[in-house]
């Protein structure tokens, strides 16, 4: 893949994902990116896809779990915290209806429902992948290969049920299943909607997957695994953000800091060698933690060279 710079990569994609191990800086990078895009005049939405208060903390204001909330301190920016416990999607509702009918017909032993919470979260996620209100939608957490695998379950189920129902049409008619033809059609439509959304995840012209990591052994291994897992779904990770580098000018002969920086250097070389073809960006460790728009703009300055 041709190397571009991170600013162009981000500016030219509608959907931006930030994945990585716990605590490496995903929310920080997503929020800095969303702020930067909004500051450049683009209508931007930042979505947290796991139940967390982190977006609200980062922007120092309450952010809704149901509707996009205008961020007071940044023009053109809205935020949303998806809470899977509260989200119930159309697809899920339909599928549960079908399940109920199947359970009535064949008994509950034969039928088990796919993980409702994950389906509900994905349902919401899908609806934002079809968004037409914003120039950019930034997702604070990228789906992992593991999530995508689990989420393929409902699709298997809908395919399975479609075949079953078609095979058993005669039996179904006798047993009063006719009324569900409409539901079946609807389910097929929903499945198409899902398939389209999943395809847009792997379309490099529309979506950019970025992974955040620290220059340390475990995050590097996790990154390698994530890249590999995602590639099995046709998703190519496009950029790595290496976070929390100790700036050389603070060392000043301090043995502890020098030792840590030397360790980071070693891992930076490993990152360069192992993820050779990928776009990379180093972000320094700040002297404080990062929240609030002022700090996010500083991070954006490093991310996007401005």
Contact residues toward Mg ion (CB under 5 A) are 26-27, 54
Q: Which does 278 bind (CB under 5 to 8 A by kind): ligand ATP, Mg ion, none?
A: none
Q: What are the strands of the beta sheet with 136-139, ordered from one edge?
A: 69-70, 77-81, 44-48, 136-139, 15-19, 207-213, 237-245, 279-284
User: What is the 3-class SS of 132-154, one letter each residue?
Assistant: CCCCEEEECCCCCHHHHHHHHHH
Judged by beta carbon, residue 52 or residue 202, the one nearer ligand ATP is 52
The smaller minimum CB distance to Mg ion, of residues 45 and 198, is found at 45
Q: Please, what sign has the CA dihedral across residues 119, 125, 127, 130? A: negative
Nearest residue (CB) to ligand ATP, 233 versus 291:
291
CB of 278 to ligand ATP, least distance (A): 19
For the CB of residue 289, give the shortest distance to ligand ATP in the complex, in Å: 4
CB of 18 to ligand ATP, least distance (A): 8
Strand positions, DSSP E, the chain: 15-19, 44-48, 69-70, 77-81, 136-139, 207-213, 237-245, 279-284
Q: Where along the sequence are the contacts to ligand ATP (CB under 6 A)?
A: 20, 22-28, 54, 243-244, 283, 285-286, 289-291
Query: What is the smallest separation between the CB atom of 285 and ligand ATP, expressed in angstroms?
Result: 5
Measured from the CB atom, the residue of 27 and 223 that comes closer to ligand ATP is: 27
Residue indicated by tokens 């192992």: 274
- Residue 189 CB, nearest approach to ligand ATP (Å): 34
The answer to whether 48 and 54 are in contact (CB under 8 A) is yes
SS in 3 state form for 70-99? ECCCCCCEEEEECCCCCCCCHHHHHHHHHH
- The residue at minimum Cβ distance from Mg ion is 27
Q: Give dist(CA 70, CA 25) in Å, integer.
A: 23
Q: Which of Mg ion, ligand ATP, none does residue 220 bind to, with CB < 5 to 8 Å depending on kind?
A: none
Q: What's the min distance (Å) between Cβ of 54 and ligand ATP?
A: 5
In angstroms, give the least distance from the CB of 138 to Mg ion: 12
- Closer residue to Mg ion, CB minimum distance, 22 or 107: 22
For ligand ATP, give the closer residue by CB, 109 or 289: 289
Give CA torsion, residues 221, 223, 225, 229, to 10 deg.
180
Q: Hey, which residues does 81 pair with through a beta bridge? A: 48
Task: Specify the residue, 82 or 187, whose C-beta has the smaller distance to ligand ATP.
Answer: 82
Residue 22's binding partner among Mg ion, ligand ATP, none (Cβ under 5 to 8 angstroms by kind) is ligand ATP
The CA distance from 84 to 141, in Å, is 14
């Amino acid at each position: 893949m041709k190397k571009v710079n991170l600013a162009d990569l981000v500016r030219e994609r509608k959907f931006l994902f930030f994945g990585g191990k716990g605590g490496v800086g995903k929310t920080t990078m997503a929020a800095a990116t969303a702020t930067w895009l909004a500051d450049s005049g683009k209508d931007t939405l930042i979505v947290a896809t796991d139940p967390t208060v982190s977006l609200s903390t980062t922007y120092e204001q309450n952010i809704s779990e149901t509707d996009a909330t205008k961020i007071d301190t940044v023009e053109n920016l809205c935020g949303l915290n998806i809470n899977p416990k509260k989200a119930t999607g159309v697809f899920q509702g339909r599928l549960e209806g079908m399940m109920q009918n199947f359970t009535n017909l064949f008994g509950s032993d034969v039928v088990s429902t796919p993980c409702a919470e994950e389906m509900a979260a994905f349902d919401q996620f899908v609806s934002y992948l079809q968004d037409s209100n914003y120039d950019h939608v930034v997702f604070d957490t990228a789906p992992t290969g593991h999530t995508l695998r689990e989420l393929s379950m409902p699709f298997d189920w809908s395919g399975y049920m479609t075949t079953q129902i078609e095979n058993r049409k005669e039996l179904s008619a006798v047993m009063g299943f006719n009324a569900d033809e409409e539901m079946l059609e609807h389910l097929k439509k929903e499945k198409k909607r899902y398939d389209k959304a999943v395809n847009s995840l792997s379309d490099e012209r529309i979506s950019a997957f970025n992974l955040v990591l620290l220059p340390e052994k475990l995050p590097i291994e996790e990154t390698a695994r994530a890249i590999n897992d995602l590639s099995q779904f046709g998703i190519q990770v496009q950029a790595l953000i290496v976070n929390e580098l100790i700036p050389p000018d603070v060392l000043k002969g301090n043995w502890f800091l020098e030792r840590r920086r030397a360790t980071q250097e070693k891992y930076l070389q490993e990152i360069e060698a192992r993820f050779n073809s990928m776009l990379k960006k180093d972000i320094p460790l700040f002297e404080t933690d990062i929240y609030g728009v002022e700090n996010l703009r500083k991070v954006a300055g490093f991310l996007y060279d401005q």
